[in-house]
């Protein structure tokens, strides 16, 4: 019985984090419409935090999540990406994350 309660609690935490992620996304959209930069940064940081914690609840450590993000960024750099072509956003983010590793 104790294991069932623990499993239920873990599942509830995951469901709560999923809902929180959607809520943070809504906060971001509202902040983009008429909010100051501070509200936008707050919403974006909330999305990051919730994503990391959700990953941890799913057994994915922050370093493993960041490693995968770097892999995806590097893969995207080999494809024709307009954001990269226009602004260099993907390569800047890949460099930033890679520096944090080492």
Q: Which residues contact 29 (CB under 8 A, 6 or more apart)?
A: none
Structure confidence by residue, pLDDT tens digits, 48-89: 999 999 999 999 999 999 999 999 998 988 887 788 889 999
Biggest CA–CA distance in the chain, Å, is: 57
What are the tokens at 76? 């995207």
Locate the domains of the chain by residue range: 1-60, 61-102
Alpha helix stretches (DSSP H) within the chain: 2-34, 37-57, 62-78, 82-87, 89-101
Identify which of 76, 27, 71, 72 has the alpha carbon closest to the alpha carbon of residue 49: 27
3 pLDDT tier (thresholds 50, 70, 90): low
Percent of the chain with pLDDT over 90: 65
């Amino acid at each position: 019985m104790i294991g069932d309660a623990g499993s239920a609690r873990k599942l509830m935490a995951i469901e709560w984090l999923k809902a929180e992620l959607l809520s943070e996304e809504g906060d971001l959209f509202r902040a983009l419409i008429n909010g100051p930069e501070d509200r936008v940064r707050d919403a974006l940081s909330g999305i990051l935090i919730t994503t990391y914690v959700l990953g941890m609840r799913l057994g994915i450590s922050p370093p493993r999540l960041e490693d995968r993000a770097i892999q995806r960024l590097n893969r995207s750099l080999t494809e024709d990406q307009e954001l990269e072509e226009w602004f260099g956003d993907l390569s800047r983010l890949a460099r930033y994350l890679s520096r944090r590793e080492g």
